[in-house]
Amino acid sequence: MGELFSPDLLPREVTFFSIWLLGVSMGLTACTVTCLPFMSSWVLGRGGPQALVWRDAGMFIGGRLVGYSMLGGLAGGAGLWLDQMLKGGVGHYVIGGASIAAGLWLLRAPAHAPCGVARATGSTPPFFLGFSLSLTPCAPLASLLALCAAAGSVGNGLSNGLAFGLGAALTPLLVLLPLVGVLGKSLRDNREWLTRWMRYGAAAVLVAIGMRRILLAI
């Protein structure tokens, strides 16, 4: 992917708002391209009403907020060592593991589980998908880590990471995922037999892209 850090990406005056804008720049571009294959497969495979799609999207964004806040705090305490570790491919392992786990959840989830149980247990995979995808190496993230490392404080790093995550939360996924949910519902209507195959197919896609991520790090 080349050199991830560019000084030109650093705002001249570092404020909560400028770091938020840095997150927005990623959320509106790279975030959608990177995250859509994971979450669209999850939404299609899981099925359910629009309320469930929004719940899963919220859990996904919550995972990203936690991930970026944690990365900012670690960078504030550990310096640019964290950026070097992400360049080494550790993020691919975490993303791959989360994707494979989500695929296995779809395979093992009972077709007629009680509604409350299915929603409670199914909220974990999208959260960890969001958390793991926050580790994707990219130029905006490298800039965030550089800012946090320069701050030299875990507290400042956490707040910077949170600002970045709030900006990245403004993503077209909030529009695309409900549309994917509508598509899935239209495909399943009056086709009960298709529900199981959509679940199996989505699980296979999640496992496949998870394994590909892990292979990228080897």
- Radius of gyration, CA atoms only, the chain: 18
Mean pLDDT over residues 163-170, rounded?
Answer: 94
pLDDT at 120 (0 to 100): 53
pLDDT at 39 (0 to 100): 96
pLDDT at 204 (0 to 100): 96
How does residue 40 score in pLDDT terms, banded at 50, 70 and 90? very high
CA–CA dist 199, 168 (Å, integer): 29
Predicted confidence (pLDDT) per residue in 94-124, tens digit: 999 999 999 999 988 755 455 544 455 577 8
pLDDT of residue 157 exceeding 70 = yes
Question: What's the farthest any 2 CA atoms get from each other in the chain?
Answer: 58
How does residue 2 score in pLDDT terms, banded at 50, 70 and 90? very low
Mean model confidence pLDDT for the chain: 85
Give the pTM: 0.86
pLDDT at 110 (0 to 100): 58
Q: Residue 177 is encoded by which pair of tokens?
A: 């995922």
pLDDT of residue 183 exceeding 80 = yes
Mean pLDDT over residues 31-54, rounded?
Answer: 92
Q: How far is CA 80 from CA 15, 165, 183, in A?
A: 20, 19, 43
Mean pLDDT over residues 128-145, rounded?
Answer: 90
> DSSP code of 7?
G
Domain boundaries, the chain: 10-217
Q: Give me the helices (H) in the chain, please.
A: 16-27, 30-46, 50-78, 81-87, 90-108, 115-122, 124-133, 139-151, 154-168, 173-188, 192-217
Mean pLDDT over residues 138-146, rounded?
Answer: 87
Mean pLDDT over residues 53-76, rounded?
Answer: 94
105 neighbors 125 (Cβ within 8 angstroms): yes
- Helix, strand or coil, per DSSP, at residue 186: helix
Percent of the chain with pLDDT over 90: 55
CA–CA dist 208, 158 (Å, integer): 33
pLDDT at 102 (0 to 100): 94
How does residue 23 score in pLDDT terms, banded at 50, 70 and 90? very high
